[in-house]
A and B are shown apart, each in its own frame.
Chain A
Amino acid sequence: MKVLYSWLKEYVDIDIQPEILAERLNYAGISVESIEKIVPSFKGVITAKILEVKPHPNAEKLQIALIDSGKGTIEVVCGAKNIAPGQIVPFAPEGSTLKNGEIRLEARKIRGFLSRGMLCSEAELELGDDESGILILSEEISGDIPIGVPLEEALGIKSDYLFEFELPSNRPDAFSVVGIAREVAALFNSKAKFPDFHLTENGPQIGDIVKVEVEDENLCPRYTAKAVLGVINKRSPFWMRWRLLHSGIRPISAIVDVTNYVMLETGQPLHAFDLRFVKDGKIIVRASGKDEKITTLDGVLRTLREGMLLIADSEKPIALAGIMGAENSEVKEDTTDVIIESAHFDSKSIMRTSRILGLNTEASTRFEKKVDPEGTVFAAKRAAYLMRDICGGNVAKGEVDIYKKKAGQVQINVRHNRIEKLVGMEFSKEFVKRTFENLGFKVEEINEGYRLTVPTFRPDIEREIDAIEEIARIYGYDRIESTLPSNNHIGGYEEDLKVLRDIRERALRLGFTEVITNPLLGSKIVEISGFSGREEEKLVKVVNPLSNDLSILSPRLALNLIYVIRNNFTRSVRNVRIFELGRVFKNSDGILPEEKTVFAAAVCGNSLEKQWWGGPLNADLYDLKGLAESVFGAENLEFNPLDSDASFDGINLNFLEGDKSAIITSKGRPVGYLGAVKSEVLRALDIDIQVYVMEIIPEILKSSILESKKYQPVPLYPAIVYDFSFIIPDEILYSDIRDAIISLNLKYLESVEVFDVYKGKGIEKGKKSMAIRLVFRSPDRTLEESEVRDSFEAAMSIVKEKFGADIRRADVS
């Protein structure tokens, strides 16, 4: 909300620098977003009186005005038609400037007639958007206007500031000038004043003009109506337009402007109906029927749902209660008789209708926050007063005020020691009492503290804590001292987070870079990854996504990593080695989807670039296998080649190359997968390099991470190491060889490890060469080679006999 400082000052006596006021308000939670100094864009423009208007000798469309500028008479050429003798108008003499100096006035001949300056329109002065004629000050300002004085003085806009407030949503009372004045008063130990006026009611009895029927008092606890008859609905005066404009409301006509002005002033939204269009002057507040239609003031025909609150006459809806009026009863230029509606509507009902229709207005946002039910009559009277003052006419006597459901008076007890305990410091009783009073509470001192009667404009004060906040906030948080709570807990990570933290550290150590991706994916990646038909039902979708690209919660973190690779590709980064610890989602039978934390990794390009000393090393599946083994322990994992239509965790793995992928299990339980991404998936994403991905659910493996470390004796005695290489058919796996050797249960055998695999040049097709290293060691003495020579021979024999291996070399080292 934006308010001019001069307006605010009308309701509270203060004379403080705007910056200081803003600072105090900020501390108190009435956030000042900005302060703008209001400076007219003109300089040197003064008031002048028109003495005579005569035609221009050489131009039909122009006139000559003889004016009194306070220092003698001057003749100026004027194109506007709305000038007449006796008017007081803005005059820009020679040497004055407009539009921040952009235009400098000089005496110049216009069609042969020397004009010494010009008369100005509102638009030329940048005081408004009316450019149809000269701004006639004598019509805008009541009372005597001196001649020859600076225009800004005559208009009362000499020096002002515009405050922009960011108001808390629980403070409907603060969404008004009076409300902010009340806050200022409490902060500076002063009292706020309400607008002061005397309303003359000399029209007919209100009951003869308007009848109101409230059908649902829950949705409309109070409905107040007043009427003003015989008005002339012209433009509202300059001061009102000026204030509205600065508050961000476009002036329309006096009647409409008054309703907006009073809303800004008091916080009570008002609506004006043209009596002509309210059949029989009868207003019915009722819920809409099914498919009832209304064309609102914004010109939109709206079909309503059953139960939305309407203002209707006996034939038709004439307003969407508390949100927007209807075109059919709108106040127009020729309106003469006006009904002012000042009601209290149920905040939930307004919120519901506003949300469903997607229609937010100044009125609806205020009603949603609960306006003061006791404020309707005052606001209606204030509006009637201003309408009569500006537009003439007679105010009908009295008001209709249907107030069946009276707001209960809220009383709460506040314990003085509770204030001190909660805030953490001592307060004087005098300060506490005074603060409550300045904020509009009635205060009665009781034994342990205070009995407060909460003003009806403060619906946010419901219990003791709400009142305690008032004391802390008005005292100023900046003045509250700082302490630390006593806490004898030992901090740390909960178990699951400890596991993730360790995984992360291990992956980082292995040279994998950590990424964090947006789990919201688009339908495209899901489509190209082969989640269709029944698979699609497992996907978790956002029902109100911002866009199609952010509509599905990732079912596979690997997809997110493929996207990261794509992002890097477009920036010519082709060597990628990344991991993420994130969540994946799958529909479940419950209310919430199944959500799992997964560890995913991806590689492509080189894991080591070609350099002067060696390389390159291609990134491949074994980078990922190595990562998994290092993080979770090789002994805890098995890698099983993929079946034709394999899936993991209930979702297919169609995006992987079947023959280059594996399911990872631990003691037979599936824990993840790894594999090469299908080339058509990569092509669809413009990636022209092989990408490998892996995903593991750490939950099942967490014991391997949490296992507390126990000391193992460090080998003391030298080992005897044998290497041997051989050629075997390609389909024989390393694990076949290893398991065969292990099955021999050789004495002193410490480890079996492959250290070379070669296919290609020099090796027959369909075969490969493999080299194995056997390490023998005794824990308590140095072995003689002769003790294990037979074991080594046995290992070579079984490889030879069982797999038809052709032994190439055998060494002891």
Chain B
Amino acid sequence: MSLLEELIRSIDEIKKAASEEIGNVASISDLEKLRVTYLGRKAELNLILRQLKELSPEERKIVGEKANAVKKELEEKIREKESQLSHTKEKKEIVDFSLPGKKYYVSSEHPIQKLINEICEFFIGLGYEVVSGPEAEIDYYNFTALNIPPYHPARSMHDTLYLSESTLFELEGTEDELREATRKIALLRTHTSPVQIRTMLRKKPPLFIVAPGRCYRRDVPDATHSPVFHQIEGLAVAEGISFSDLKGTLELFLRNLFSQNARVRFRASYFPFTEPSAEVDVSCIICGGDGCRVCKDTGWLEVLGAGMVHPNVLEEVGYDSEKYTGFAFGMGVERLAMLKYGIPDIRLFFENNLKFLEQF
């Protein structure tokens, strides 16, 4: 038998065997194996084609065309079989979409931290740096440096938890001696304002900071009071900062936090560390200002305390109060979260019931 005849016979045999096997194959993976066997790089058909150089040009043409035709035919058959197989498979295997999806343990954020981050991010956008300070604080930073010297009436507004015996009321001494004595009294900070002092002592103006953190007061726990709570303090000190700037900043902030349509109002108030001081209200987010139980029929919700930094405070940290002016503001995070999410009781935040937390 000539090489030509031999090759042609081989091609016919391959075709026969392959067609038969393709016809019998029952799964896509087996079909895939056949594809490799008959059409792959090491497949017989390809080996045949490599022997073409030993034939005359005419013979080469005959064998080449035949081999390629068989190759095409087999490819077609495999394709057909493939679609046939995938079709029958659909009929055989049933996916029960009524079964529940896999349930994994999904984590939740604590609503207080979530809100703190949201608020901080807003101020970061305005160019503020987020800073922190200790929760156990000295009286001097918590009160004295904030223009609340010993014997200041405002000290009674904060029911303070002390870590060292406060003997201020028993000390005899000059005003300066008493002020110095407050550096030696440890307490749990009653607000985040001492972070203002600590930051101003280590940085020079201009200064734009927000300080979130935990605070403590000697409050009996009830639906709206908790001995531990969170505040966010803001402070901006630079040349030429005015009360108008404070208004603009907080209006923008509150509209961002509550709603574009929220109205904001500033009322005069008194804080020892700011002057002029203001309480800031936002139109009731429940009733829109018409009056409801949440706003006690006033249409307004008190959400912030703010004011221009008192020159005594600036001078206490060695800033030039003629050159620099600034504003400060502080807010209770729990109160904001209660309003924002409609949470009725502040104690829920610290109970950490997972059924509560998983809602956030």
Binding site for B on A (CB under 8 A): 26-29, 31, 168-171, 305, 307, 347-348, 351-352, 355-356, 368-369, 421-425, 463, 465-466, 468-469, 472-473, 477-478, 480-494, 496-497, 501, 504, 507-520, 540-546, 550, 553, 564, 567-568, 571, 573, 575-578, 583, 585, 591-593, 595, 607-609, 611-613
The contact of A494 among B129, B267, B275, by CB within 8 Å, is B129
A-chain residues with CB within 8 Å of residue B269 when the two chains form the complex: 29, 31, 168
B-chain residues with CB within 8 Å of residue A472 when the two chains form the complex: 243, 268, 276
Contact check, B162 vs A29: say whether CB atoms are below 8 A apart: no
User: 4 closest pairs, A vs B, by CB?
Assistant: A424-B244, A424-B242, A29-B268, A168-B270
Q: Which of B209-267 contact A (CB under 8 A)?
A: 214, 216, 218-220, 226-228, 236, 238, 240-245, 247-249, 251-252, 265-267
Q: Which of B259-305 contact A (CB under 8 A)?
A: 265-270, 272, 275-278
A585 CB to closest chain B CB (Å) equals 6
- Complex: how many Å from CA A648 to CA B170? 40
- Complex: how many Å from CA A571 to CA B162? 34
- Complex: how many Å from CA A612 to CA B102? 9
Q: What 1/0 mask marks residues of chain B from 165 to 176 whose CB sits below 8 Å from any chain A CB?
A: 110011010000
- Complex: how many Å from CA A27 to CA B109? 38
B-chain residues with CB within 8 Å of residue A465 when the two chains form the complex: 275, 308, 310-311
- Complex: how many Å from CA A356 to CA B166? 12
Please judge, given known A-B contacts A491-B127, A513-B354, whether A423 and B243 are in contact too, CB under 8 Å.
Answer: yes
The reply on B112 being an interface residue by CB < 8 A is: yes
B-chain residues with CB within 8 Å of residue A543 when the two chains form the complex: 162-166
* B116 and chain A: residue at smallest CB distance: A516
A-chain residues with CB within 8 Å of residue B185 when the two chains form the complex: 591
- Complex: how many Å from CA A31 to CA B154? 17
B-chain residues with CB within 8 Å of residue A504 when the two chains form the complex: 113
- State the majority secondary structure of interface residues on B: mixed
Contact check, A515 vs B110: say whether CB atoms are below 8 A apart: yes
Please judge, given known A-B contacts A421-B242, A477-B267, A592-B138, whether A576 and B107 are in contact too, CB under 8 Å.
Answer: no
* A617 and chain B: residue at smallest CB distance: B105
- Complex: how many Å from CA A513 to CA B156? 38
Contact check, B186 vs A513: say whether CB atoms are below 8 A apart: no
Contact sample, A vs B, 12 pairs, CB 8 Å cutoff: A29-B270, A169-B157, A171-B270, A355-B169, A463-B311, A473-B268, A487-B128, A493-B130, A513-B357, A542-B161, A542-B163, A611-B102
Contact check, A487 vs B242: say whether CB atoms are below 8 A apart: no
Contact check, A487 vs B352: say whether CB atoms are below 8 A apart: no
Q: Which of B305-360 contact A (CB under 8 A)?
A: 308, 310-311, 325, 349-355, 357-358
A-chain residues with CB within 8 Å of residue B243 when the two chains form the complex: 422-424, 472, 477, 480
* A585 and chain B: residue at smallest CB distance: B136
A-chain residues with CB within 8 Å of residue B135 when the two chains form the complex: 519, 583, 595
A-chain residues with CB within 8 Å of residue B265 when the two chains form the complex: 27, 477-478
The reply on B153 being an interface residue by CB < 8 A is: yes
- Complex: how many Å from CA A657 to CA B113? 32
Contact check, A576 vs B244: say whether CB atoms are below 8 A apart: no
Binding site for A on B (CB under 8 A): 99-100, 102-110, 112-113, 117, 120, 123-132, 134-138, 151, 153-154, 156-157, 161-166, 169-170, 172, 183-186, 188, 206, 208, 214, 216, 218-220, 226-228, 236, 238, 240-245, 247-249, 251-252, 265-270, 272, 275-278, 308, 310-311, 325, 349-355, 357-358
Contact check, A487 vs B349: say whether CB atoms are below 8 A apart: no
Contact check, B107 vs A491: say whether CB atoms are below 8 A apart: no
The contact of A480 among B123, B129, B244, by CB within 8 Å, is B244
Contact check, A485 vs B241: say whether CB atoms are below 8 A apart: yes
- Complex: how many Å from CA A509 to CA B108? 10
The contact of A481 among B153, B247, B325, by CB within 8 Å, is B247
A365 CB to closest chain B CB (Å) equals 9
A486 CB to closest chain B CB (Å) equals 8
* A494 and chain B: residue at smallest CB distance: B131
Contact check, B126 vs A573: say whether CB atoms are below 8 A apart: no
Contact check, B134 vs A568: say whether CB atoms are below 8 A apart: no
- Complex: how many Å from CA A54 to CA B355? 76
Please judge, given known A-B contacts A421-B242, A513-B354, A583-B214, whether A519 and B228 are in contact too, CB under 8 Å.
Answer: yes
Contact check, B208 vs A489: say whether CB atoms are below 8 A apart: yes
- Complex: how many Å from CA A424 to CA B163? 42
* A607 and chain B: residue at smallest CB distance: B105
A349 CB to closest chain B CB (Å) equals 9
Contact check, B352 vs A516: say whether CB atoms are below 8 A apart: yes
A-chain residues with CB within 8 Å of residue B357 when the two chains form the complex: 513-515
Contact check, B107 vs A469: say whether CB atoms are below 8 A apart: no
Contact check, B268 vs A27: say whether CB atoms are below 8 A apart: yes
- Complex: how many Å from CA A78 to CA B357? 67
- Complex: how many Å from CA A609 to CA B105? 9
A573 CB to closest chain B CB (Å) equals 5
- Complex: how many Å from CA A571 to CA B311? 52
11 A-B pairs besides A484-B245, A546-B227, A568-B353 with CB distance below 8 A are A348-B151, A424-B244, A481-B244, A511-B107, A513-B354, A518-B227, A553-B136, A578-B354, A583-B214, A591-B185, A611-B102
B150 CB to closest chain A CB (Å) equals 8
A356 CB to closest chain B CB (Å) equals 6
Contact check, A612 vs B99: say whether CB atoms are below 8 A apart: yes
A-chain residues with CB within 8 Å of residue B169 when the two chains form the complex: 351-352, 355-356
Contact check, B108 vs A469: say whether CB atoms are below 8 A apart: no
* A567 and chain B: residue at smallest CB distance: B351
B-chain residues with CB within 8 Å of residue A468 when the two chains form the complex: 275-276
Please judge, given known A-B contacts A489-B128, A514-B113, whether A422 and B325 are in contact too, CB under 8 Å.
Answer: yes
Output the residue of A356, A425, A593 with the most chain B CB within 10 A. Answer: A593
Contact check, A491 vs B153: say whether CB atoms are below 8 A apart: no
B290 CB to closest chain A CB (Å) equals 15
A684 CB to closest chain B CB (Å) equals 20
Please judge, given known A-B contacts A487-B208, A511-B107, whether A516 and B349 are in contact too, CB under 8 Å.
Answer: yes
Output the residue of A425, A473, A509 with the most chain B CB within 10 A. Answer: A473
B253 CB to closest chain A CB (Å) equals 11
A283 CB to closest chain B CB (Å) equals 25
Contact check, A513 vs B112: say whether CB atoms are below 8 A apart: no
Contact check, A608 vs B105: say whether CB atoms are below 8 A apart: yes
B-chain residues with CB within 8 Å of residue A611 when the two chains form the complex: 100, 102-103
Contact check, B103 vs A609: say whether CB atoms are below 8 A apart: yes
* A542 and chain B: residue at smallest CB distance: B161
- Complex: how many Å from CA A575 to CA B105? 9
Contact check, A511 vs B105: say whether CB atoms are below 8 A apart: yes
- Complex: how many Å from CA A666 to CA B310? 47
Please judge, given known A-B contacts A169-B154, A611-B103, whether A482 and B129 are in contact too, CB under 8 Å.
Answer: no
Contact check, A352 vs B123: say whether CB atoms are below 8 A apart: no
* B236 and chain A: residue at smallest CB distance: A485
Contact check, A491 vs B103: say whether CB atoms are below 8 A apart: no
Please judge, given known A-B contacts A477-B278, A567-B352, whether A423 and B112 are in contact too, CB under 8 Å.
Answer: no
- Complex: how many Å from CA A472 to CA B137? 34
B-chain residues with CB within 8 Å of residue A305 when the two chains form the complex: 170
B-chain residues with CB within 8 Å of residue A480 when the two chains form the complex: 243-244, 247, 266
Contact check, A26 vs B267: say whether CB atoms are below 8 A apart: yes
Please judge, given known A-B contacts A168-B269, A484-B249, A612-B100, whether A422 and B242 are in contact too, CB under 8 Å.
Answer: yes
Contact check, A424 vs B186: say whether CB atoms are below 8 A apart: no
Please judge, given known A-B contacts A351-B153, A424-B244, A516-B350, whether A592 and B134 are in contact too, CB under 8 Å.
Answer: yes
* A553 and chain B: residue at smallest CB distance: B136
* B350 and chain A: residue at smallest CB distance: A518
A-chain residues with CB within 8 Å of residue B166 when the two chains form the complex: 543
Output the residue of B110, B267, B310 with the most chain A CB within 10 A. Answer: B267
- Complex: how many Å from CA A169 to CA B158? 12
Contact check, A577 vs B107: say whether CB atoms are below 8 A apart: yes
A484 CB to closest chain B CB (Å) equals 5
The contact of A491 among B99, B128, B137, B165, by CB within 8 Å, is B128
Please judge, given known A-B contacts A491-B127, A612-B99, whether A514 and B275 are in contact too, CB under 8 Å.
Answer: no
Please judge, given known A-B contacts A510-B107, A545-B161, whether A492 and B132 are in contact too, CB under 8 Å.
Answer: no
- Complex: how many Å from CA A510 to CA B311? 48
A-chain residues with CB within 8 Å of residue B358 when the two chains form the complex: 513
